[in-house]
Amino acid sequence: MDAIISYLPQHEGLLPKWLLFVSVVSSLNTFQAFASPAYTGQLYSETPMTPLSSRKFGTWTFLSSVIRMYAAYYVSNPQIYDLAIWTYGIALAHFASEWLIFSSAKAQGRFISPLVVASCSLTWMVTQRSWYLGL
């Protein structure tokens, strides 16, 4: 068990562990998006998902995952911290706009998860920024 714990972020607080968890889950979502457009199509209930659009979504998700992974381990680095905040802000803007502006998704089923994760993580990171950066 100690061997596993040694790979976890060593910074105080729960945010680094959360960032790692979300990064790992996002990476798994990336593989699912590459494997089948049906998976990504469950998010966008009002729009048909092509294999290309699913792979684009998977690539975007993986990029966010990498940034969040770095933030998990370097949470006291202001540039990396701010990049991670941006990933959640962009994700929230994307999902909210697809729901409220473009009507390509409905606030139900699997679509709720990214909205909740993005909004809660964004709020957590913004409110705790000074503590993690020592400002």
- DSSP of 72-96, one letter per residue? HH-TT-HHHHHHHHHHHHHHHHHHH
| CB hemisphere CA count around 128 (13 angstroms) | 17
Establish if 2 belongs to a structural domain: no
> Given this model, what pLDDT does residue 8 score?
82
Mean pLDDT in consecutive groups of 10 residues from the start of the chain, 135 residues: 82 95 96 90 82 94 98 97 98 96 89 95 98 91
The residue type found at 134 is G
**Distance from C-alpha of 9 to C-alpha of 18, rounded to nearest angstrom:** 10
pLDDT at 38: 86
In a domain, 121, yes or no: yes
What is the crossing angle of helices 112-133 and 15-35, to 10°?
Answer: 150
Q: Closest Cα partner for 54 from 66, 67, 44? A: 44
As a whole number of angstroms, the distance between CA 118 and CA 88 comes to 5
Instruction: With respect to residue 1, please indicate whether it lies within any of the assigned structural domains.
Output: no
The number of domains in the chain is 1
pLDDT attached to residue 77? 97
User: Does residue 4 lie in a domain region?
Assistant: no
81 within some domain: yes
- pLDDT for the residue 10: 87
8 Å CB contact between 61 and 33: yes
The Cα 130–Cα 126 span in angstroms is 8
pLDDT of residue 48: 82
**pTM confidence score:** 0.92
Instruction: Quote the pLDDT of residue 5.
Output: 82
CA proximity to 66, closest of 31, 23, 105: 23
Query: Residue 46's closest CA among 104, 93, 124?
Result: 104
Q: Given this model, what pLDDT does residue 102 score?
A: 93
Residue 56 is part of which domain span? Answer: 12-133
Q: Is residue 27 part of a domain?
A: yes
